[in-house]
Amino acid sequence: MLIAGNWKMYKGPAEAAEFCLGLREQELDGVDVVVCPPYLSLAVAVQLLAGTEIAVAAQSVHWEDSGAYTGEISAQMLREVGVYGAIVGHSERRQYFGETDETVGKRVHAALQAGLFVIACVGETEEERETGQTEDVLRRQLSVLEPDDNLVVAYEPVWAIGTGKTATPEIAQEAHAFIKSRLDLPVLYGGSVKPENAGALLAQPDLDGALVGGASLDLESFTAICLAATRS
């Protein structure tokens, strides 16, 4: 069971340091834990979580090793800092920054080639779900991915991200089962995961963990979700 905390654009180096020092003290045996800070906080997180089983991942990664790509970060740069992996294709990257299935595929391939662990995100919008397009959307988004030992998929229904809405355990299970029928990979659920619903979600047979957004910013709630995973 894998629990990844996506901090989005929160926690600069000072806040990240405080959180990581607190996280070090938690008893999290039996669950794989990853934190995904903003780029500027990656180095301090790597430093303070060294010697633990807690991994540090970035929130994106570029497909080239270097070049004239203002604002981007390469896999080699992340490896040099000591970063373990990267999220790729988060719905906010697709929605606000022009990420496409093609660029997601390129980023995933480059990151895996460089030896990074990758969490590749897929998911449908509310309109797509309501019009019966969920499986078509997932099929298209998954088409750029290939099985790899260092790749997991995160199913994040866009309508449940930061909205307070959460897919029911049954809806999540149905989507996860479909994804696994297309790709033989572990699948995390992402979409308003909280301590209150984590247990029911993670109890579903095809949920292999969670990609946690807002609830990962608070040490107590993130720890509670990690502990729920140990009981699932």
Positions marked catalytic: 90, 156
Nearest to 49 by CA among 79, 84, 76, 80: 84
Q: Which residues pair with 6 in a beta bridge?
A: 36
Tell me how far apart the alpha carbons of residues 189 and 181 are, in angstroms, rounded to a whole number: 16
Per-residue DSSP letter, 26: S
Q: Mark 115-153 as b/e (b = at least 16 C-beta within 10 Å).
A: ebbbbbbbbbbeebbeeeebbebbeebbebbeebeebbb
